[in-house]
């Protein structure tokens, strides 16, 4: 399964106003966009979800948890996520049934992508859902990992990138959870890590443009999902180069 979402199309067709910002669906459906008649995926089913959240200045998302493993990538604005100060580009990961937060937007608001590889019915807020958290977690331990902000590379610097570069932002854990950041000079090719080492990969274009799977010009904020049974992602940078994140989920369900 290879799913591709062009940010231009998503913003034009799937952006909706919320009480304190905007939400744009890129891949999959969530509780707001899924038809009531459509059956909910069975537990353990691979179900990629990707959406962009944009919060107005001062907005607050109270501490909560989800039943699915989750990456969040802060794209713009600034604020606080739990104990971490965030801005673009910051990466945050939480295991399923691990409570985190609050998320507090600063005066310039804050925008982040949420990526999941399994269905999630929505946030359960603390402390009201504490009993549900304990019951659902079982013998799992709380896991929350954050990578400090590092802005996307400037267009001029990317165009003069001397050679392809890959940096592990989160070194692969024993269960395969990992994050890599790539910088590619114009026209350079990229071969990703083997998806079989985790349970699905989301790729996110941070700067420049990426060419993959019949999509020759995926701009910033475009994203892809590569399932574990696919070959490693083969792609190439556009005329201005490309900066890309690869987010790999742990192997367990």
Length of the chain: 253
pLDDT of residue 138: 86
Per-residue pLDDT of the chain (253 residues; tens, 9 = 90+): 799 999 999 999 999 999 999 999 999 987 777 777 788 888 789 999 999 999 999 999 999 999 999 999 999 999 999 999 999 999 999 999 999 999 999 999 999 999 999 999 899 999 999 999 999 888 888 999 999 999 999 989 998 999 999 999 999 999 999 999 999 999 999 999 999 999 999 999 999 999 998 898 999 999 999 999 999 999 999 999 999 999 999 997 5
Q: Are strands 201-212 and 215-219 parallel, antiparallel or unpaired?
A: antiparallel
Sign of the CA dihedral with 185 first, then 110, 46, and 14 last: negative
Which segments within the chain are labelled E, that is strand? 2-5, 15-18, 21-27, 49-55, 60-61, 64-65, 70-81, 84-87, 90-94, 103-116, 124-125, 144-147, 165-170, 178-184, 189-191, 201-212, 215-219, 223-226, 234-248
Q: How many other C-beta atoms lie within 10 A of the C-beta of residue 170?
A: 18
pLDDT of residue 33: 77
- Consecutive H or E run containing 159: helix 155-159
* Cα–Cα distance for residue pair 213/220, rounded to 1 Å: 17
Residue 117 has phi, psi (to 5 degrees) of -110, 10
Q: Which domains does the chain have, with CATH numbers?
A: 9-147 (2.60.120.10), 155-248 (2.60.120.10)
User: Does the predicted model carry a pTM greater than 0.85?
Assistant: yes
Terminal-to-terminal C-alpha distance of the chain: 17
Cβ atoms 194, 217 nearer than 8 A: no
* Cα–Cα distance for residue pair 88/81, rounded to 1 Å: 13
3-state secondary structure at position 210: strand
pLDDT of residue 139: 83
3-state secondary structure at position 152: coil
* Cα–Cα distance for residue pair 27/49, rounded to 1 Å: 5
């Amino acid at each position: 399964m290879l799913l591709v979402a062009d940010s231009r199309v998503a913003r034009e067709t799937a952006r909706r106003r919320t009480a304190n910002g905007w939400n744009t669906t890129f891949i999959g459906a969530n509780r707001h966009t899924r038809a009531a008649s459509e059956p909910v995926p069975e537990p353990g089913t691979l179900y990629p979800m990707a959406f962009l959240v944009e919060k107005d200045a001062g907005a607050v998302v109270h501490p909560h948890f989800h039943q699915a493993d989750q990456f969040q990538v802060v794209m713009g604005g600034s604020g606080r996520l739990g104990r971490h100060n965030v801005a673009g580009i910051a990466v945050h990961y939480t295991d399923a049934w691990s409570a985190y937060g609050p998320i507090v937007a600063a005066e310039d608001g804050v925008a982040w992508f949420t990526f999941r590889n399994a269905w999630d019915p929505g946030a359960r807020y603390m402390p009201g859902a504490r009993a549900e958290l304990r019951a659902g977690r079982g013998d799992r331990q709380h896991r929350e990992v954050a990578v400090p902000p590092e802005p996307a590379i400037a267009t001029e610097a990317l165009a003069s990138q001397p050679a392809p570069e890959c940096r592990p932002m989160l070194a692969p854990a024993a269960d395969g959870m990992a994050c890599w950041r790539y910088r590619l000079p114009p026209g350079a090719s990229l071969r990703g890590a083997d998806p079989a080492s985790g349970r699905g990969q989301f790729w996110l274009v941070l700067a420049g443009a990426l060419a993959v799977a019949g999509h020759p010009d995926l701009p910033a904020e475009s994203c892809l999902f590569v399932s574990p049974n696919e070959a490693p992602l083969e792609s190439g940078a556009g005329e201005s180069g490309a900066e890309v994140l690869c987010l790999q989920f742990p192997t367990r369900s």
